[in-house]
Amino acid sequence: MSRDPNEPNHQDHKLIPDATEELKGIMKEGMKHPSTKPVLTGAAVGAVAGWILPVVGPIIGGVAGAGIMLYKRVRP
């Protein structure tokens, strides 16, 4: 089985373990961890967006915003 040179190289097969390690670091170090502030900012922005959008709600928006920022921290 040969690989297509035009196919992008995805690293998502290690996404869950990498995100788990990042979350462990955030929980251990708190506000001293470099990912804490961006993830909390993403949660706040998502919560505000969820509050404005009638279908989503602030809780789901906050979780989605935090998830997006965590993904951006793990896979820049």
SS (H, E, C) 37-74: HHHHHHHHHHHHHHHHCCCCCHHHHHHHHHHHHHHHHH
- pLDDT tops 50 at residue 1: no
The verdict on residue 18 lying in a domain is yes
Tell me whether residue 4 is in a domain: no
Would residue 7 count as lying in a domain?
no
Residue 68 lies in a domain: yes
Count other Cβ atoms within 10 Å, centred on residue 75: 13
The token duo for 45 is 């922005």
5 is a domain residue: no
Residue 55 has a pLDDT of 87
Q: pLDDT tens for residues 18-29?
A: 889 999 999 999
Residue 51 lies in a domain: yes
What is the reported pLDDT for 56?
86
Number of compact structural domains in the chain: 1
Q: What is the pLDDT of residue 49?
A: 94
The whole-number average pLDDT for the span 54-68 is 92
Instruction: Indicate whether 48 belongs to any domain.
Output: yes
Structural domain of 67: 13-74
pTM greater than the 0.85 cutoff? no
Residue 22 lies inside a defined structural domain of this protein: yes
Question: What's 2's DSSP letter?
Answer: P
